[in-house]
Amino acid sequence: MRWSHAFIPTLRDDPADAEAVSHKLLVRAGYMRQLMAGVYSMLPLGQRVRSKVMNIIREEIDAIGGQEFMLPQLHPKEIWDRTGRSETMADIMMTFTDNKGAEVVLGPTHEEIFATVSLELTSYKQLPQLWYHIQTKFRDEARPKSGLLRVREFTMKDSYTFDLDFEGLDAQFDRHYGAYVRIFERLGMSAIAVHASSGAMGGKESVEFMVESDVGEDDVAHCAKCGYAANVEKATSAVPPIEDPSGSSEVERFPTPGVRTIAELASFDGGAAPDRQIKTLVYLLNDEITLVLLRGDHVLQEQKLMDVTRTTKARPAQPDEIKALLGADAGSLGAVGVEGVRILADEGLRGRTSMTTGANENDWHVRGVDIDRDIAVTEWVDVREVTDGEACPECGSPLRVFQAIEVGHIFKLGTFYAETLGVTVLDKDGKTIPIVMGSYGIGVERNMAASVEANHDDRGIIWPIEIAPYHVVVTVLRPDDERSIEVSSKIYDDLAVAGVEVLLDDRDERPGVKFNDAELIGIPYRITIGPRGIDNGVVEFVERRSGETREIPIDAIVAEVAALVI
């Protein structure tokens, strides 16, 4: 491609509405333009990268036995009604009514649709299967952000496996795991696999692939020593036991005027340190009012609460609901003596004595609370959010908690879809059994952006060679110089013949402009051709990432570059 004829609209300034590095760079370097919130047009460079990302994914999924399909984006809402997901995913589902009056869904994902196709599977002899497609998804995210990282229309490779039993599922899951690891490597990212909450998917087990980034939307707890890794929505840690002073024989009420927070009670004369307090939260779990008890210095992880209680809808109680239940405002709540209400206590409180908590009367607290003796705990649960520096639950080393981008997510779905949609086969004994499913997603554009987040410097993008829009840019310093034209045209043609993807910068621009543009758009290698070098029979060869520069004889450059990139 000749740059003089290419549409590569680079910008000197960062776009005003971008925050994330990948967002700024992909717009500035002419890869994409925004059309509306969470919707982007891919320009030629962007489309080249996107298509290379898709090809890498395709290669790796084909390599584990995948069969590529292309399922529709338009779905009858009725199918989604059958699995109940038109309810559970209602807030992100794009729907419209067609001219006949039928309700239509723009597919946010394709479990239902692949499962519908799989209805034609009838015998155990046809299993296992691994089906996938790379298709546009629509999700009406309440808040699109960070360029390609969170959008409303995007491309996803989603694969689905169909097995006779859970052993088969495990094997397909493991193969996907391996394929995903290879994909992220080829995209130039170090992704770590973490245990995750399956959320709305309803699966029994899922693994997320996470790339550390300060624009990531998830928090991950990771142990560098033993490799333990989990989304904080699921992570646990080892809490060092606390020696309580020998218990008092009874609960004692005491006045605490104006005290409403853990911190205030900690500094109150006669109060207690945060780790010697019981924090009482009031929640509605699927509309059932519930007390959730935590150590004063611990933080509730709402997703863990929802998972452990199998709740689909959870919210903190409103102030008036709290008052009606316990007779006091938040800040003076306690579970001592409370009966007839579900009381969940975090494991961090197990066996604690001589604790301090609210008295359910404003401006009063109680101390000397012995949990086993004084509180009617319904269930002990682990609902505490892990924080940075706590001990790894596996090996005891300090955990690091960091932000990360979710670049892939694989689920063991089990038989939910098979059962609700009636996907069954006959086994060896002629018995009807539901198919065991898995689903495996990876967002194409999000991975593009995540790769930029992981591969850039202050001059621009540094693409990994496999997804760079071009392998090499040939920069002609003096397009008005005949010898320069001759030499560069020959190198350009020979590289192309050798299978190297090359961009020829033949624009009538100052050298500085060309160098800056080449570095901004992130082409891995640059060949610089100028009269000075030609006099000596050489061209200059620069590696984008290291900046390392060498002079190479004109007649050797093509072979040299071809050996590097092919």
* Footprint on this chain of RNA (rule: CB under 7 A): 10-20, 34, 36-38, 89, 91-92, 109, 111, 141-146, 150, 158, 199-201, 217, 302, 315, 406, 409, 411, 439, 441, 459, 477-480, 508-513, 515-517, 519-520, 528-533, 540, 542
Nearer Cβ to RNA, position 396 or 479? 479
Strands 205-212 and 218-222: unpaired
Q: Closest Cα to residue 472, out of 402, 400, 558?
A: 558
Q: Smallest distance from the beta carbon of 256 to RNA, in angstroms?
A: 28
Q: Smallest distance from the beta carbon of 37 to RNA, in angstroms?
A: 3
Burial class (CB in 10 A: 0-12, 13-18, 19+), 60: buried
CA 148 from centre of chain: 12
Nearer Cβ to RNA, position 416 or 470? 416
Q: Smallest distance from the beta carbon of 307 to RNA, in angstroms?
A: 11
Report yes or no: 331 and 259 within 8 Å, Cβ to Cβ.
Answer: yes
Nearer Cβ to RNA, position 142 or 563? 142
Q: Smallest distance from the beta carbon of 157 to RNA, in angstroms?
A: 11
Q: Smallest distance from the beta carbon of 149 to RNA, in angstroms?
A: 9
Nearer Cβ to RNA, position 33 or 427? 33
Report how far residue 7's alpha carbon sits from residue 28's, in angstroms, rounded to the nearest whole number: 13
Cis peptide before 128 (omega within 30 of 0): yes
Report yes or no: 436 and 166 within 8 Å, Cβ to Cβ.
Answer: yes
Q: Smallest distance from the beta carbon of 548 to RNA, in angstroms?
A: 11
Q: Smallest distance from the beta carbon of 511 to RNA, in angstroms?
A: 4
Report how far residue 553's alpha carbon sits from residue 349's, in angstroms, rounded to the nearest whole number: 73
Q: Closest Cα to residue 345, out of 279, 301, 253?
A: 279
Report yes or no: 441 and 409 within 8 Å, Cβ to Cβ.
Answer: yes
Report how far residue 440's alpha carbon sits from residue 282's, in angstroms, rounded to the nearest whole number: 36
**329, two tokens:** 């405002």
Nearer Cβ to RNA, position 230 or 349? 230
Nearer Cβ to RNA, position 375 or 476? 476
Q: Smallest distance from the beta carbon of 139 to RNA, in angstroms?
A: 7
**Sign of the Cα pseudo-torsion (29, 34, 39, 44, in order):** negative
Which residues, at least 6 apart from 81, have a Cβ–Cβ distance to it below 8 Å? Answer: none
Nearer Cβ to RNA, position 228 or 541? 541
Strands 472-476 and 502-505: parallel
Nearer Cβ to RNA, position 217 or 250? 217
Q: Closest Cα to residue 172, out of 209, 134, 205?
A: 205
Q: Smallest distance from the beta carbon of 240 to RNA, in angstroms?
A: 28
Q: Smallest distance from the beta carbon of 135 to RNA, in angstroms?
A: 12
Nearer Cβ to RNA, position 109 or 357? 109
> What are the distances in angstroms from CA 42 to CA 14, 30, 157?
18, 9, 18
Nearer Cβ to RNA, position 352 or 514? 514
DSSP bridge partners of 400? 222
Report how far residue 331's alpha carbon sits from residue 357's, in angstroms, rounded to the nearest whole number: 9
Which residues, at least 6 apart from 295, have a Cβ–Cβ distance to it below 8 Å? Answer: 274, 275, 277, 278, 279, 346, 348, 349, 352, 384
Nearer Cβ to RNA, position 328 or 534? 534
Please provide the DSSP assignment of 402-471 as one string: EEEEEEEEEEEEETHHHHHHT-EEE-TTS-EEEPEEEEEEEEHHHHHHHHHHHSEETTEE---GGG-S-S
Tokens 């402009």 found at? 513
Strands 525-529 and 538-543: antiparallel
Q: Smallest distance from the beta carbon of 460 to RNA, in angstroms?
A: 8
Nearer Cβ to RNA, position 156 or 377? 156
Nearer Cβ to RNA, position 126 or 312? 312
Q: Smallest distance from the beta carbon of 404 to RNA, in angstroms?
A: 12
Q: Smallest distance from the beta carbon of 462 to RNA, in angstroms?
A: 13
